[in-house]
Amino acid sequence: MSNKYTKAASIKLDTPFGEFQLHSYQRDDLKDVENPNISRFHLALVAGDVAHQKNVIVRVHSKCTLNETFGDMECECSEQLEYAMKTIQDAGKGVIVYLMQDGKGIGLFNKIRAIQTCQEENIDMYDAFIKLGFKPDERDYHAVKDIFEDLQVESPIQLLTNNPDKIKQLQNYGIECQRLPIQMPVTKYNKASLTYKKNKMGHLLHLD
């Protein structure tokens, strides 16, 4: 069994923003967080020729079912994903690594439990994760290293992120990053979420 993420399938994907190649990567020695009957997997959405290229625009994006599927207005993930797709198409090349790490790595089931805890006890998600026995962010970015090796993307990359921990983890895997901000408008629905991300998790955000 492989201890690396390897490419399993590739398709052409036509989107409102342009054409991408969508690659799926799986790791046989790990089980999916949501479905233990299948191997853990992630996706890469690629535009243009990124092999042996430096300064490629990259978004490392974690799955967010409540926002991306149901339109939960407390989160801005779908807006960030669309912004990244458009930005990459405008640049002519780039990569979106779409990680199946819903709920900051604890899975959708536990994310819903955390939100219920927030609503019942009037606390933020940071404290709710801790109360349920999780770290405030359980995500890991090792898969990005394996995917970049397969795509032959070279450092440094231009990373669309507001999260310093994401930058640190990628750099620990040998991926040098130059940050590109990706802040969406602050609204009455997402302000509380953005506030705890800034104040408790160190995200580089402007809330005014």
Task: Please give the positions annotated as active site.
Answer: 137, 139
User: For residue 96, what are the contacts with CB-CB under 8 A and spacing of at least 6?
Assistant: 44, 45, 46, 58, 59, 60, 61, 81, 84, 85, 88
Sign of CA dihedral 6, 8, 11, 14: negative
Residue 31 to residue 56: CA distance in whole angstroms: 30
Nearest to 44 by CA among 68, 27, 23: 23
